[in-house]
Amino acid sequence: MAYRRSLLMEERLANNRDRILTATRKLVAEGGFREAQIAAVAAVAGISTGMIYRYFPSKAELFVEVLGAAVGAEIEILTAIADGPEPAGMRLSAAVTCFVRRALHGPNLAYAFIIEPVDPEVETARIRYRKEFGDVFKAILIDGVEKGELPAQDVDASAACIVGAFTEALVGPIGPTTRNTRDKERLVESVRTFCLRAVGGVTEGEDGHEKLSQTIRTTRKRQTTK
Amino acid sequence: MAYRRSLLMEERLANNRDRILTATRKLVAEGGFREAQIAAVAAVAGISTGMIYRYFPSKAELFVEVLGAAVGAEIEILTAIADGPEPAGMRLSAAVTCFVRRALHGPNLAYAFIIEPVDPEVETARIRYRKEFGDVFKAILIDGVEKGELPAQDVDASAACIVGAFTEALVGPIGPTTRNTRDKERLVESVRTFCLRAVGGVTEGEDGHEKLSQTIRTTRKRQTTK
DNA sequence: TAGAAAAGTGAACACAAATTCAAAAATTGA
DNA sequence: TCAATTTTTGAATTTGTGTTCACTTTTCTA
């Protein structure tokens, strides 16, 4: 026996994996999945193309992992909001606002996640993730309807509609258009109003709004610094 | 001089073009753009691959034309509804209902039109067409707001949200799932309610509904038999 | 330090599908 | 029928990437 993986090596391996993921995320954020070819990822990560296949069985699985990580982060934030003690309408407002705002301000991972054409394997994952988003909203809706805060409705359809609504509203704005903060906030507010009305929540009377905003900020910070 | 395109030939050429389009539409309806490779299209159309390039400069342009024709038909139907004399809320209801119902019952061209991954050139066209759909709804909204039938709102955002909402609601159901008519109608109604509430239209008090349904049916028939 | 095993390389390969084009078949007018 | 011209064919070419693998380099133990 003349070789056994040392602790140092173990670390370097993990490091490599990380660099691949980071490189992919960076490329996707800059130019979508389209720009994240294996050769490019390898170049950015500073390794050879062959290396990538030591860590990921295929490009599709690499993409799925990147997508999953990013979606997971968003889901965590949204879930924190959804699980709060506020009335359903308010939580819904906060969740929509939070998602749209983050998508608008963040790097344009959003475009890739929302609509960019990809191969079917990744697409399947994307649809699954979209459903996950829907489930967060669905939970809020179920709760709201149970407590009589929202009118009875088809929560599955409503949840899907909500995800679709803010998704579509983002597609245009996200692309090359660089809008200023004022425009962005206007869009956020428009989408929020739309969604809230849609499920029969009130749009007026925003008491307690500040408290929830606080929750959002805290959650977001926790997420970013992790 | 020994050859000049005769009338008969002229006809055959046009016929060829038609067969290519029809073949493409058929393949897309059955298996999405993915299944509509040039070779497959040629096979279905009963011609050689080379022929296709005599009529279309590239696969992408062929796709765009097929997409455009299908979208155009839908737009025409929706526009007829949008231009009606009914109150804005009712027209919106009818338009959403009509679109969702047609997508659910028709061949699954809808899948291809809504979410299937395609190359960027076609994607650009799709986004444009989505915007066209949005514009129809926007027109209804503007009118409704002007006449005081709907509350003031960001009509651009609302229109985008509406398109996104019913689109997303369709994505799941459209695929391989074969639902019965009852389920389909339930979904149609759910989406309709969602969208109508979202823009601040009333959901109750559907007087005159039947009259508008009539309009829808007539328009649809005209479209199909054309 | 040797030499066994693993990590790492990147040019070569594979592959699928769009596109081309030289040659064949068909059409037309004289 | 013939020759000019166009239409049609489909095998070969092109293209762009993902993936592999024979080889090099590095890491680790005895």
Q: How far is the CA of B123 from the C1' of D12 (A)?
A: 31
Q: Do B195 and A167 touch (CB under 8 A)?
A: no
User: Is A60-225 the same fold as A7-56?
Assistant: no
- Closest chain B CA to residue A167: B164
Residue B77 CA to residue B70 CA, distance in Å, equals 11
Q: What is the pLDDT of residues B139-148, one digit of tens each?
A: 999 999 999 9
Tokens found for residue B8: 């008969």
Minimal CA–CA distance to A24: which of A65, A71, A76? A65
Strand C contact at CB of residue B15, distance < 7 A:
no
Domain ranges of chain B: 1-56, 59-225
Q: Where on the phi/psi map is residue A205: left (φ > 0), alpha (ψ -120 to 50), or beta?
A: left
Identify which has the larger pLDDT, B206 or A101. Answer: A101
Integer distance in angstroms from CA A6 to C1' D28?
A: 8
Q: Which residue does chain B place closest to A187, by CA atoms?
A: B157
More confident residue, A166 or A3: A166
Residue A33: what pLDDT? 86
pLDDT in tens, B171-219: 765 444 556 777 888 899 999 999 998 886 666 544 334 444 444 444 4
Q: One-letter amino acid identity for A120?
A: P
CATH code for B59-225?
A: 1.10.357.10
B123 to A130: CB separation less than 8 angstroms, yes or no: no
We find that the CATH architecture of domain B1-56 is Orthogonal Bundle (1.10)
Contacts A118 to B, Cβ<8 Å? 117
Spatial neighbors of B40 by CB under 8 A, at least 6 apart, are: B27
pLDDT classification of A172: cutoffs 50, 70, 90: low
Which tokens sit at A28?
A: 């996707």
Q: What is the CATH number of domain A60-225?
A: 1.10.357.10
The CA distance from B176 to B108, in Å, is: 9
In the three-class reduction of DSSP (H, G, I as helix; E, B as strand; rest coil), residue A139 is classed as helix
Dist. CA B18–CA B69, nearest whole Å: 12
Mean pLDDT, residues B109-137 taken together: 79
- Nearest-CB residue to B158 (from A127, A158, A194): A194
**Closest alpha carbon to B199 in B139, B154, B169:** B154
**Would you put residue A103 in left (φ > 0), alpha (ψ -120 to 50) or beta?**
alpha
Q: Which of residues 8-27 of A touch strand D (CB under 7 A)?
A: 8-9
Nearest to A28 by CA among A99, A95, A121, A122: A122
For residue range B3-17, what is the model confidence (pLDDT) as tens digits?
A: 677 777 778 888 899
Instruction: State the SS3 of A192-221.
Output: HHHHHHHCCCCCCCCCCHHHHHHHHHHHHH
Residue B57 confidence (pLDDT) above 90:
yes
pLDDT of residue B81: 96
Q: Which of B132, B129, B122, B123 is nearest to B64 (CA)?
A: B122
Q: Using the beta-carbon criterion (under 8 Å), do A171 and B117 form an inter-chain contact? A: no
Contact A107, A175 (CB under 8 A): no
Number of residues assigned to chain B: 226
Tokens found for residue B195: 């969208």
> Does B154 contact A186 at a Cβ distance shorter than 8 Å?
yes
Tell me, in Å, how far CA of B43 is from C1' of D20?
Answer: 34
CATH code assigned to A7-56: 1.10.10
| CB within 8 Å: B194 and A199 | yes
Query: Over the stretch B86-95, which tens digit does the pLDDT of each residue have?
Result: 999 999 999 9
Q: Which residues of chain A between 46 and 85 are close to nucleic strand C, CB under 7 A?
A: 47-51, 54
CB count in 10 Å sphere of residue B226 = 7
d(CA A103, CA A173): 10
Chain B residue at shortest CA distance from A121: B117
- Using an 8 Å CB-CB cutoff, list chain B residues near A171: 127, 130, 160, 164
A75-104 mean pLDDT: 93
Residues A211, A206: Cα–Cα separation, whole Å: 11
Q: CB–CB of A194 and B168 under 8 A? A: no
Q: Give pLDDT tens digits for A18-61.
A: 999 999 999 988 888 888 999 999 999 999 999 999 999 999 99
pLDDT at A206 over 50: no
CA A124 to chain centre: 16
The interaxial angle of helices A181-198 and B155-174, nearest 10 deg, is 60
CA angle, residues A38, A41, A45, in degrees to nearest 5: 140
Distance CA B96, CA B81 (A): 10
Lookup: tokens for A161? 């509609």
Residue B221 binned pLDDT confidence (cut-offs 50, 70, 90): very low
B12 vs A95 pLDDT, higher one: A95
Of A120, A123, A198, which has the smallest distance from its Cβ to B198's Cβ?
A198
Report angle CA B147, B96, A169 to the nearest 5 degrees. Answer: 80
Question: Positive or negative, the Cα torsion across A133, A134, A135, A138?
Answer: positive
- CB interface of B with A, residues 9-68, below 8 Å: 34
Q: B169 contacts in A (CB within 8 Å)?
A: 157, 160-161, 164
